[in-house]
Amino acid sequence: MTAPAPHRDPSLPYPRRRVELSRVKSSCVRFLTFLGLSALSACREVGPAFGPNLLMARQNAEEFFYSVGSRFTNIERPPRIIHARAQFGHYALTPSGVYNDTTVWLAIGPDSARLFGDEGHFSIDRYIVNAKLSTTAPDALAESREIVRLRRLTNNDYEWFTNVDVALGHMPAKTLSDVLAAGLAAGEGKSPAAIRANYLANFPRTVAALGRLFTIDTLNAITDGEGATTYELAIRLTPEIIKATMPHYAAYIDKYISKGKYRLTLVDDTGAHWFDAWAANYYMHFRVRSKGGHFAPLTGSVRPMPENLLIQIDMSMKILVFTVGWTQMIGDFEFINTPHERGWSMRFAKEPNWTLPPTVGSILRGSLRRPFQGTGIPIRISIRDTPGGQTLLNRRLSLVVEESGILRFLNRLSGTAVGDFLGPSEREANRFNADAFRALRQDVSAILQ
């Protein structure tokens, strides 16, 4: 299928969204998870899983990759949006600095909440974003809508809320679950050599594009007496390979990503692990177990994955001379599984153990507890289809912060990390990501011919 006019192949370099450090950190975790799962799913069998027949699979895959690529291709924003996003990043943890900035907000709600919004669409060779508050969902391929709301609760307490919708075409929501299941099942009972041969033969462009920065160092597939297969994957970051063509991006990885430590684990109420991912020292590790394309606990008897799990995230980064982060950030993790919606709903209502400089960590800790009080931090990510309409990727987040000296300190650190990324590093990272999306689209298209 050819993308509908007047759109073109969204394969040109595209910039990522300007984000504050908290989004950079969460994006790292999401990307680690996506990279590991996509590596496991990079088999010929994933192509047909995009639809009930070859024609529908080709259409769904084309629309999906076209929309995702378009969303980040040559983003064109007016000065007002650029300014607003810069302010959101600068005052993410100290929102009083942006609350009364009339150059940012588009409207004031009845509860005195400040409102900002934008809409985006792809045109010819770029993604055009305009400032606009809209209550209607995107209704054309690759369109997007974003709403940002800031509400003052007390003199020092503020609530951020963001909601983002992106149109993905007409693919049923359950399709991505089918694609992942097909990829997991394709490797079950096979040797690591056979799995490597599969993705090398069927995803050559993707392997070449990602191989400039990621090398699959270890790939084990161990079949047990239950008939399940445990996948163990170790991916090594190789910024030295891209240093000649993307020196700023390589330097950023060396400075921040390589020194960071990340871990994401899903466990059930019995303590059984269902998914493990961790990263440190240029390596990313993933461990999952499946049977028949369905996840199984990493140890013990095969059984269906519960709908409700616990998610634990540990993370630390070194910024300047300071190491900051947390351990034991534990939240409720629920699968969204309805006929027309698939996704994940998370809620973090327990304060983690903080990693902070000694002179900072002992003072004003009350404000660090504030986001986890009450309803905690709810995060919802899902894909929802509508009969006759666009399938939407939705991301929703709410966060309450209490301004204090320690948050002003952390905000200054986040500004350093984000500032180092924006500019040349971001442009080079965008170019790398654009190449990867183009390669994925071309490989899947070739499989479905």
Over residues 349-375, the mean pLDDT reads 78
Domain boundaries, the chain: 21-447
Q: Tokens 């047990």, residue?
A: 224
The pLDDT score that the predictor gives to residue 362 is 54
**For the chain, give me the number of helices (H) and strands (E)?**
13, 18
Average pLDDT of the chain to the nearest whole number: 85
pLDDT tens by residue, 69-109: 888 788 899 999 988 988 887 888 889 999 999 999 999 99
- Are the C-beta atoms of residues 274 and 243 closer than 8 Å to each other? no
pLDDT over 50 at 6, yes or no: no
User: pTM score, two decimals?
Assistant: 0.85
pLDDT tens by residue, 169-192: 999 999 988 998 998 999 999 999
**Which of the pair, 350 or 449, is modelled with greater confidence?**
350
What token pair was written down for 292? 């028949």
Helix (H) or strand (E) holding 35: helix 21-41
The pLDDT score that the predictor gives to residue 41 is 54
- Kindly state the greatest CA–CA separation across the chain: 65
DSSP helix/strand/coil, 76: strand
pLDDT band at 415 (very low <50, low <70, confident <90, very high): low
- Measured CA to CA, the distance from residue 333 to residue 306 in angstroms comes to 10
